[in-house]
Amino acid sequence: MGKRILRRSKTSKATAVSPANIAFIKYWGKKNSKLNIPFNDSVSMNLDKCLTTTTVEFNPRFRSDKVIVDGKELAEDKKLRVLNIIDLIREKSGVSYGVKVVSKNNFPSDSGIASSASAFSALALAGSVASDLTLSEKELSILARIGSGSASRSIVDGFAWWKKGANNATSFAAQIAPESYWDLRDIVVVVEKMKKKSSTEGHGVALTSPFFKTRQKNLQRRTLGVIGAIKKKNFLKLGELIEQEAIELHVMAMTSNPPIFYWNKGTVEIMNKIRKWREVGLTGFFTMDAGANVHVICLAKDVSKLNSRFKRLPEVLFTISNKPCRGTQLTNKHLF
Ligand code: DP6
């Protein structure tokens, strides 16, 4: 499943739409920070309400490279990160023209949702098709990973397993199960109205945490546990493991040098409420990526009950309810 061979096309413009994903097992720490080769495998689910659409055009008439995100030209450092992927595509395809990249997110930019996963996966597919490259799913996952590690997982449909691999050619994501396999939900509970802090900073100091080594030892068992729970649709097992994982990631961040605190009081309030509600039979489990907002994983039957409770809490700004969805796809709805 999930293998996607792209048809060659003669057009120099292509558009892709791609989801963000929530990590059940987190990528935290890089063995190679240029190529985003991680220390550990990670596991995720795509989020159908958190999408990035990106159009890429190579054109001999473009004098300079332009990158526009949500209506604004990107700052130089972020633009260089995008052009690094464009240059890899130019190298592979032999296309040397100027490029125009236009990208937009359908989720609020202040929602703290990682847009690098959806952004770099969309860029990898749109850029390669625009340059007439035919890449397999594996090759796309590798290309997206070089842009942002978590983007390697968004290429794949449904639930993804990014195997750390040993080098550039062996570090990529593959499917665990398609989106239709399990109707799991992720309610993103937004408690912080600001841009997500960079996770790149966190990766850089991950090894300074005294818990890093212990984590690496425990991770293989937990990762296989999460994959097994997805395959068996064992919700309670999955929930137990993803909460352990989320707490561990944030303890690592808090004990790094310098320490990084992603949580705010809303984060703690939601975690406490989720645990309390579980005691009375309303079952959700929390996980957080590199930010304060809480992803509450639950079954479809509990989404509206949980949502109405979240809406009553003063710390909650808004929520976004997601289902699992396909990975990066081509579309003909170009942005320019
Ligand atoms: C906590 O993929 O954003 O969300 O490779 O530097 O772009 P870069 O990092 P990024 O890291 C994601 C960290 C995380 C966990 C995860 O998604 O696995």
Q: Tens digits of per-residue pLDDT, 37-93?
A: 999 999 999 999 999 999 999 999 999 999 999 999 999 999 999 999 999 999 999
Ligand 1 atom 14, closest CA: 289
**Residue whose token pair is 């942005």:** 335
C-alpha span between 184 and 239 (Å, rounded): 11
Ligand 1 atom 6, closest CA: 200
- Please check the confidence at residue 165 and state whether its pLDDT lies above 50: yes
pLDDT in tens, 217-259: 999 999 999 999 999 999 999 999 999 999 999 999 999 999 9
Distance set, CA 255 to CA 33, 59, 146, 203 (Å): 21, 48, 27, 13
Single pTM value for the model: 0.95
- Ligand 1 pocket, residues with Cβ under 6 angstroms: 23, 26-27, 36, 42, 114, 116, 148-150, 199-200, 203, 289-290
C-alpha span between 146 and 126 (Å, rounded): 15
- Please check the confidence at residue 97 and state whether its pLDDT lies above 80: yes
Ligand 1 atom 8, closest CA: 148
pLDDT score, position 106: 92
- Average pLDDT of the chain to the nearest whole number: 93
- Please check the confidence at residue 110 and state whether its pLDDT lies above 80: no
Measured from the Cα of 117, ligand 1's closest atom is 2
Domains and CATH numbers, the chain: 13-179 (3.30.230.10), 184-322 (3.30.70.890)
C-alpha span between 237 and 329 (Å, rounded): 31
pLDDT in tens, 309-325: 999 999 999 999 999 99
pLDDT in tens, 259-307: 999 999 999 999 999 999 999 999 999 999 999 999 999 999 999 999 9
Q: Which helix (H) or strand (E) holds 188?
A: strand 184-190
